[in-house]
Amino acid sequence: MRGPDHDLLREELVAVASSSGLDLAVQRAGLHRRAKHLVVMDADSTLLQDEVIDLLAVECGCAAEVSEITELAMAGEIDFADALRRGHPARGTTESVLDDVRNKLRLTPGARTLLRTLQRLGYVPAVVSGGFVEVLEPLMAELKVDYLAAIGSRSRTAS
């Protein structure tokens, strides 16, 4: 959007964002803005229809424990990333379990089109997740997403 009064435009858009529940950013046009082409999105329940951590927990038979950890983290009682690093119940799963979870990943409708369109327009998509890197890396490679940051990574055992 363009307007002669940047501050007034920002003020009005903030009001619209607040009343509609949207996140909006207002930034002055210029070369510095045109050079920014990074789009970061969440993998879990955004790019994907499921939560990787929940799929892993089901496969490992520890869904109740993972649900409890997630609830505590969402309530701010524990640090989720720290809980994953210190001994998450899904740690030590076999490569075959990872394969099973990878095979269950479902993209949200339009996800491939969104990524292809962003890439054709010169944007660089990046994906973040609370799930495990080992599960997501192959799919991100297939989707040509070069940047992935995931909280969980784990030691592997042979299948």
CB count in 10 Å sphere of residue 33: 9
The pair of structure tokens assigned to 54 is 């929940």
Please tell me the distance from the alpha carbon of residue 117 to that of residue 63, in angstroms, as a whole number: 36
User: Rounded CA gap, 52 and 4, in Å?
Assistant: 46
Point out the residues that are catalytic: 42, 44
Cα–Cα nearest to 101, from 44, 149, 141: 44
Distance CA 94, CA 124 (A): 32
Alpha helices, H only, 21-79: 31-34, 52-60, 63-74
Calpha distance 24→17 (Å, rounded): 6
